[in-house]
Structure 1
Amino acid sequence: MTSGTTGPGTAPRPFRQVDVFSDEALGGNPVAVVHDAAGLGDDQMQAFARWTNLSETTFLLPPTTPGADYRLRIFTPGNELPFAGHPTLGSAHAWLEAGGRPAGDHVVQECGAGLVRLRRRHGRLAFAAPPLVRSGPLEPDLLDGILSALGIARADVVDAAWVDNGPGWTGIRLASADAVLALRPDFAALPADVGVVGPYPPGAECAVEVRAFCQPSMGLAEDPVTGSLNASLAQWLAGSVLPSSYVAAQGTAVGRSGRVHVETAEDGTIWVGGATRTTIRGHLDLGGGRAD
């Protein structure tokens, strides 16, 4: 199956809402997935994403790059993203559930960040972490702005770095998961999208707690469970500060039970995965006919 059009005049498009990164019902991060999205304009996609008011809404389209199984466009309520993790997993789940069959050993998604491979292991979908487009220390003024918005001092920070794999993430490492959960950011003051990570004690269910704070232009404040951020944090910390394979908790502060599984393969590829479950099936009708 491809995500191509079904012909003019068929305005309603298949729609799924998929919960990602939790084994518990309604415990993860939902993504709205529109199938057969060819013919929808940019403004329509953005308007629908704004209407759903979810962290991300995605649109499945025919691929334009050799080797891709489908093309994905990803929108927050405020803007389009080149890549995001939980929409990647949720959209692949929806595509496969609707009858999609990958051409090769992996599902290959085309998106603004390029080609992203996905696989299914241990009953979970996982994506191969895309390369960082920016790494290294944060500029002092930027770090000061982030810490002011988070309400913490430099002495509270173990480390900080750019961890941008497309969405623009900066990373802040704190001494403990409790310190991460205690944060009460001033979201309006955030100068960048910020991921914060801190460890749980040895022997705990999860290695770390993660939180993702977004600038107002994104149209959301705290993202419940974030695949792209966990992928970039793993590239920063896995195999050094953290084990090469581990489970991260996210969403605790907003009443979710997100669990992100990070696995480093022998070839060095970092795979980021979690549970996926369709919670809503239906059709999207934006009115009028389709101009394909």
Structure 2
Amino acid sequence: MTQKHAFQQVDVFSSQSFKGNPLAVVCDADDVSDAQMEAFANWTNLSETTFLLKPTVEGADYRVRIFTPVGELPFAGHPTLGSCHVWLSRHGKPGQQEVVQQCGAGLVRVRVSDGTLAFAAPPLRKSGSVDTETLTTVAAALGVASSGIVDANWTDNGPGWLSLLLKARADVLNIRPDYAALGRFQVGVVAPCTPEDGVDTDFELRAFGDNCEDPVTGSLNAGVAQWLMGKGMAPERYVASQGTAMGRAGRVHVEKLGDDIWIGGEVTTFIEGNVII
């Protein structure tokens, strides 16, 4: 049985039109089956598609299920901000400053401030150093010399991230990945920006996995921030750019407040209507 659902397609993590990471959001999806969610997410062919449902735990404002074209994720960053933006447009209250999202990774707090949204980075599911065999495989798949890797760490908060810190922004932008060799790994690459780079950001990131590059990735930025701040390699407030190599202009605002690291950016709706699922 098919039904009509309110629908929005939004752009996340950029102030420039069509320069962030798009997200498809289906509203009031409690009656949509798992198979229908999987089929619709595969059809949109976006990095993620989300479905908004009524919460099932106390304290949550809404529940979200997050799908890539090939499967479901317990958590992802740009779907969190994009889904919250859509929920607020339909159910939010004037002056509301914080929203609680229920997802596969648990409850995630989302802060509303000055027209932007930021989520509190969830705990890492896997952290720590990367074994030599895995690091060798990943470096070869990315075409990165071992001498060019400053550090490496697991930064997995749901999608499975493994992150590499390189010496320079140019090293990040010059990567040409071999996805077949990369295989199952989800890899983030980061490097500091310098005044000589002539950009308005502090770090440059790229994200590789599932045979593609993701334009702007909230979950990766969250894990990288926890890693770099924890080791004293990043300040407690900075801006990261991502998507440059794809012609995008992603900007991720990172800030540590107390024990929380907040990952934020702008969200804009570009498509609004109904879908039949």
Normalised-by-shorter TM-score class:
over 0.9
Q: How many residues align?
A: 273
Distance 2:97 2:142 in 1: 43
Distance 2:2 2:42 in 1: 23
Do residues 207 (structure 1) and 198 (structure 2) align? no
Q: Counterpart amino acid of 2:261?
A: I
TM-score after normalising by structure 1: 0.90
Distance 2:234 2:115 in 1: 24
Do residues 198 (structure 1) and 191 (structure 2) align? yes
Deviations 1:35-60 (A, max 9, x none): 00011111110110010000100000
| Matched ranges for 1:171-250 at <5 A | 171-191=163-183, 192-202=185-195, 204-216=199-211, 221-238=212-229, 240-250=232-242
1:84 to 63, 76, 83: 76
Which residue number in structure 2 is paired with residue 280 of structure 1? 271
Q: How far 1:205 sits from its partner (Å)?
A: 0.8
Bigger proportion of residues as strand: 2
- Which deviates the most, 92-101 or 18-27? 92-101
Distance 2:82 2:210 in 1: 23
SS of 1:235's partner is helix
1:98 to 90, 104, 124: 90
Do residues 271 (structure 1) and 262 (structure 2) align? yes
Q: How far 1:101 sits from its partner (Å)?
A: 4.1
Q: How far 1:10 sits from its partner (Å)?
A: 8.1
Q: Is the 8 A contact 1:188 1:215 kept in 2?
A: no
2:60 to 68, 83, 104: 68
Q: Is the 8 A contact 1:206 1:246 kept in 2?
A: yes
Which consecutive residues of structure 1, in runs of 5 or more, have no partner in the other structure? 1-8, 287-292
Which consecutive residues of structure 2, in runs of 5 or more, have no partner in the other structure? none
Q: Counterpart amino acid of 1:234?
A: A
Q: Is the 8 A contact 1:38 1:61 kept in 2?
A: yes
Distance 1:197 1:39 in 2: 41
Q: Counterpart amino acid of 1:259?
A: R
Which residue number in structure 2 is paired with residue 290 of structure 1? none
Q: How far 1:99 sits from its partner (Å)?
A: 2.7
Which residue number in structure 2 is paired with residue 4 of structure 1? none
- Which deviates the most, 12-21 or 91-100? 91-100
Moved over 2 A (4+): 99-102
Q: How far 1:17 sits from its partner (Å)?
A: 0.3
2:108 to 105, 111, 116: 116
- Which deviates the most, 155-164 or 187-196? 187-196
Which residue number in structure 1 is paired with residue 32 of structure 2? 40
